[in-house]
Structure formats: structure tokens, C-alpha cells
Structure 1
């Protein structure tokens, strides 16, 4: 078992993007920080907001036997440059790609669907592409948060950057909590157990 994890929520910084589909990764990291009772703090040299805590048999934010260190991360860079912050933090903490979990939006899954996996392609996701470039590897873990395809002929870029409709925000909040549960299980019980529970 690793002694350090990095959980990265992919998204765009600033209030303009707060309630967009592209920022569900940020929302999951915010939920994990809330559960751990820690505050994300700006670390300018890492170009990220970071909160350090622990996770183990007794839960998130609880020290004790078997607990390991955990850094929760939101980059200050835009999505396309997410890897810049992730690369710096990976070097700082001395973690390998296999000790990094990226939480990101996924067009090819409907809202209400999650998929956990290790490695794989970028599937056109620029945040994953940037991480791969800066880590020189795609062998990090992913929690893919379904947001569905855009309706009609709406361009995917416009869809992911548009505010989540008011009528969908409650459903998104439910999925944010479930994705946070999935991250916790991934870190404490392993990928296979979390896939069996949450891959839908």
C-alpha cells in the first residue's frame, strides 16, 4: 500500500466556471475536503490549491494505524494546463502516476454513471492529455464522472463550459457525493473493490 496519495480534481479556476459541467472534479475535491474538515489553501509555486489530510481504516481525515497521507488538489491553471500543477506536486510529494487519482467530467457517460479505471487514453479530454504530458505517463487512476452528451447540435466545448441547469444541480450534487465515496473506497480498499461497487 502506498504511503501517499494525490487526488486531483480537474476543472477551471475562477467564479465564471464554478457551476459548469467541466468543473465536477473540483466539486468532488471540495466535498472530500469538507469531509476531512480541512481547507484548501493556495500554494502559488505549485499553481494549485492544496489541502493535506490522512485516510485509513478509520476514515477520511482520521489519523491512526494504517492511515496514509493524502493531498487534495485543485489546479490554478486552466483545464488544458492541468498537468503543470500535477507534475509539480507529484515531484514535490515524490508520488508515482499510480499514486495519483484524477477526477474529471466524462461526455461518454450519462449523469448518474461513474467509471473507475487505471490508465487508458485521453478520449479528447485536454486535462488528461496535459497530465499525461507532464507526468510522462498515462498510468494514473481516473474517476470518470458522467455528464452526458450535449443536446442537439450544441458543440461539446460550449456544453461543458455552460452552467449546469438549475433543475440538474440536485442530481449533480448527489453524484458528487457518490464520486467522493468512490474515491474514498478506491484509496482504502483498492481499485477492484471500488470498480465492483461504483462502475455502472
Structure 2
């Protein structure tokens, strides 16, 4: 069985370690733990992980956040993967830092990357793992906050949260969404 995991973020050194790149960070941490690397291909950095009999295609779109749907759609078709085996990993300012929330479907909730994926795929019926980045910003400062780097205090906690998110991705592929939601949405 094949899966597509898309970690959302923005390419370029200026975006490294920013809150909006949480999706990229989760996949990079998984790659470090499972000893694989990403290769630049059409529309995305790509990798493949075989885990417990599953083939997991991982992508980090190079289309920038707001056009993520183009890469997601391309790789779903490229690998003949149904949307029920798609999981999008993205940041979420409506969750406290470090909180994970897996959902089988839903609205974009103001997230432009998810909005574009919805538009391109023509559906909201795909799983998403939301990675809480908190909302410690004043009115009108949302863009600066999400494009800002994690503060030192959160950077220290980040590895454990990234590990947990990586475990959730693998669980989604091997145990299914319901079991994974029951375990990780606490």
C-alpha cells in the first residue's frame, strides 16, 4: 500500500526554523531518524521510506506554501495514490505550541497552503496533521509571527515534538487514521 505525506513550508534559507515551516521540519526530522534524504525533483523535494510493508512517498513542495496544491496533486497522480492515503503536515497557530491534531478532513481554517490544496484537489477529504505553533502575537502581527523563528525556549522542546509528529505519520500509514487520532490527539 502506498501513501503520500506532504510537509508544507517555504523553501530558502530565510525560512529555515520558522514556524510556518513546521511541515518541512517534521519530514526532515523523520529523514534523520530513518536515514534517508530528500532529492530535488519536479515541484518538490522527494523521498521514499519503506516502513512495515508500506511505501511512503514524502514531499516538501518547492512551490511555496500558497501553491502547495500543485505539488500534492502532481505526486498523487505520479504514484497513483488515492486521497484517503494522503496526509498533509502543516503549522497551526490555533493550537498551543507542541500540540498535535490529526483530522481525517476539514476546512483550511485560514491556512493558505491547505486552501490551495483544497482548490487544486477539489476536495477537503484528506487527512491533515496540524502542528501547534501557538498564537503569541499582537493584533495585525500574524504574518510576522508565523514567518518568525521559534524562540530559544521552544527550540529546546522542538525535537521531542517533531519526534512525536513523525511517530504520528508512521502510525497513520501503518495503523490507520482512527487509531492514530485516538493515540495522538490527547
**Do they fold alike, i.e. is TM over 0.5?**
yes
After superposition, residues 155-194 of structure 1 pair within 5 angstroms as 155-194=141-180
Tell me which residue corresponds to 1:28.
Answer: 26
What's the CA shift for 1:182?
1.0
Residue 14, structure 1, aligned to residue 12, structure 2: yes
Tell me which residue corresponds to 1:5.
Answer: 3
Tell me which residue corresponds to 2:44.
Answer: 48
Contact 1:97 1:137 in 2 (8 A): no
Contact 2:54 2:173 in 1 (8 A): no
List structure 1 segments (4+ residues) > 4 angstroms apart after TM superposition: none
Residue 138, structure 1, aligned to residue 128, structure 2: no
The TM-score, its normalising length taken from structure 1, stands at 0.89
Q: Equivalent residue of 1:171, what SS?
A: helix
Structure 1: gaps (5+ residues): 57-66
Between the two proteins, the alignment pairs up a number of residues equal to 186
Contact 1:12 1:78 in 2 (8 A): yes
The TM-score, its normalising length taken from structure 2, stands at 0.96
Tell me which residue corresponds to 1:62.
Answer: none
Single out whichever of 27-36 and 9-18 deviates more from structure 2.
Answer: 27-36
For the aligned residue pairs, the C-alpha RMSD in angstroms reads 1.2
C-alpha distance after superposition, 1:38-82 (max 9, x if no partner): 110000xx21000012121xxxxxxxxxx0211111011110001
Contact 1:111 1:172 in 2 (8 A): no
Tell me which residue corresponds to 2:81.
Answer: 95
